């Protein structure tokens, strides 16, 4: 029976046997009692495997009809995946507008034998050119953080296939509830569960999902020996959040799309970046049920006006990260390594009433 992702999210990781707890247990042990051949029992040492991680991983895997591996953070997940794929595909063709932490990580790896080639993933001839010179990883992100550009994932996956490259998508901004890159041709997906997937701004965690057994095994080997494992408590928190992801993201997405339209018509706003504006037709071919919680926009008056607006809000919280149930925002260029325009505000839309958010946004912009 092909179940809807919302049903899979609600039931994933939960036992169905009589006598079992309805909620996964939080197993904190660093080791399991055993003697003799340690492979005879499912668990021996807590860095290698843990039932609470497995509950989260089975739920994440069910969402994408794939196998999932949990990590201590989104960047730990992408690091393991770059290393796993980089052994045979040592050229990383990275989207030039992807999350800056991923770009920084790739720059650091460039000193360790994985060549970094940064390209615009909207420029297919540049991508083809970059892929033509040897086995590569094509590493994309859509919608991108923070400019929310939509990249054509089917087209990029076709280019990767033609050139023998591995295709990876960072699906953090959309989540598995709205977009399934493995169905669009990706070999592996990276998600920072820290954001909308867990959704309550209380955990740092990441995952890799794939249908390729060799990638799965290699990523797990890197997790085990590089050691960036999830904590059992964090895994449990993320599993609890995942159950309501489809509900939350539906509300967040519809409010974000409404606020993007409101901002586009606002006299103090110079530009709005959102999949519904400009890239809607493409976004609708690869996303289902919404465009995610983020809207980015540039205010007239640049950084000082943006800072004043952020300080004036009563409901929308100041701070980085995104995807939580409470709306939050920040001026991205306050981070030194960020390349977004100085006055760009990235707004993460929560689950509050749309009317309350719209009123808060209007009064904050009036102060900007």
Ligand X SMILES: *Cc1c(COP(=O)(O)O)cnc(C)c1O
Residues that bind ligand X (CB under 6 A): 73-75, 99, 101-102, 141, 145, 170, 172-173, 192, 194-195, 204, 206
Which residue is catalytic, options 195, 240, 243, 332? 195
Give the residue at shortest CB distance from ligand X: 74
Alpha carbons 272 and 160: distance in angstroms, whole number: 31
Residue number with CB closer to ligand X (98 or 364): 98
Does 195 qualify as catalytic in the annotation?
yes
Residue number with CB closer to ligand X (206 or 368): 206
Residue number with CB closer to ligand X (57 or 141): 141
Q: Is 147 helix (H, G, I), strand (E, B) or coil?
A: coil
Minimum CB separation from ligand X for residue 190, in Å? 7
Edge-to-edge order in the sheet of strand 317-318 = 269-273, 294-299, 344-348, 328-331, 317-318
Minimum CB separation from ligand X for residue 193, in Å? 7
Q: Is 119 helix (H, G, I), strand (E, B) or coil?
A: strand
Which residues lie across from 345 on neighbouring strands?
297, 331
Minimum CB separation from ligand X for residue 164, in Å? 26
Residue number with CB closer to ligand X (61 or 74): 74
With beta carbons less than 8 A apart as the criterion, state whether 178 and 292 touch: yes
Backbone angles phi, psi at 92, to 5 degrees: -100, 110
Which residue is catalytic, options 97, 152, 170, 307? 170
With beta carbons less than 8 A apart as the criterion, state whether 236 and 332 touch: no
Minimum CB separation from ligand X for residue 334, in Å? 16
Does 99 qualify as catalytic in the annotation?
yes
Omega before 146 cis (within 30°)? yes
Backbone angles phi, psi at 100, to 5 degrees: -65, -25
Which residue is catalytic, options 99, 243, 331, 332? 99
Does 161 qualify as catalytic in the annotation?
no
Backbone angles phi, psi at 241, to 5 degrees: -65, -40
Residue number with CB closer to ligand X (122 or 368): 122
Q: Is 126 helix (H, G, I), strand (E, B) or coil?
A: helix
Nearest-CA neighbor of 130 among 163, 104, 97, 103?
A: 163
Residue number with CB closer to ligand X (97 or 365): 97
Minimum CB separation from ligand X for residue 73, in Å? 3
Which residue is catalytic, options 47, 87, 104, 334? 47
Alpha carbons 353 and 357: distance in angstroms, whole number: 6
Minimum CB separation from ligand X for residue 168, in Å? 11
Nearest-CA neighbor of 185 among 219, 163, 211?
A: 211
Rounded (10°) CA dihedral 308, 311, 312, 316: 130
The residues annotated as belonging to the active site are 47, 99, 170, 195
């Amino acid at each position: 029976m092909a179940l809807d992702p919302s049903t899979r999210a609600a039931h994933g990781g939960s036992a169905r046997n009589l006598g079992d707890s309805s909620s996964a247990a939080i197993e904190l042990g660093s080791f399991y009692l055993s003697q003799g051949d340690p492979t005879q029992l499912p668990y021996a040492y807590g860095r290698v495997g843990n039932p609470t991680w497995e509950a989260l991983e089975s739920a994440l895997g069910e969402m994408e009809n794939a196998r999932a591996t949990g990590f201590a953070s989104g960047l730990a997940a992408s690091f393991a995946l770059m290393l796993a794929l980089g052994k045979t595909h040592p050229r990383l063709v990275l989207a030039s507008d992807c999350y800056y932490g991923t770009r920084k990580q790739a720059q650091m790896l460039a000193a360790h034998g994985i060549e970094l080639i940064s390209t615009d993933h909207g420029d297919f001839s540049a991508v083809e050119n970059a892929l033509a010179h040897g086995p590569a990883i094509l590493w994309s992100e859509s919608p991108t953080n923070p400019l929310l550009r939509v990249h054509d994932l089917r087209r990029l996956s076709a280019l990767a296939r033609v050139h023998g490259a591995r295709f990876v998508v960072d699906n953090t901004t959309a989540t598995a509830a709205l977009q399934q890159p493995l169905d669009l041709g990706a070999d592996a997906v990276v998600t920072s569960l820290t954001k909308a997937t867990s959704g309550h701004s209380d955990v740092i965690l990441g995952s890799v999902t794939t249908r390729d057994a060799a990638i799965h095994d290699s990523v797990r080997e890197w997790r085990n020996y590089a050691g960036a494992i999830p904590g059992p408590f964090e895994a449990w928190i993320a599993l609890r959040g995942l159950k309501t992801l489809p509900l939350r993201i539906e509300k967040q997405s519809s409010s974000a799309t409404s606020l993007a339209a409101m901002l586009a018509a606002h006299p103090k706003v110079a530009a709005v970046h959102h999949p519904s504006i400009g890239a809607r037709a493409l976004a609708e071919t690869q996303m289902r049920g919404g465009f995610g919680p983020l809207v980015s926009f540039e205010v007239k008056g640049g950084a000082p006006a943006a800072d004043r607006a952020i300080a004036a809000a009563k409901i929308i919280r100041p701070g980085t990260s995104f995807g939580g149930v409470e709306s939050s925002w920040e001026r991205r260029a306050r981070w030194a390594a960020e390349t977004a325009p100085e006055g760009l505000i990235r707004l993460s839309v929560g689950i509050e009433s749309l009317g309350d958010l719209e009123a808060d946004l209007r009064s904050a912009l009036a102060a900007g």
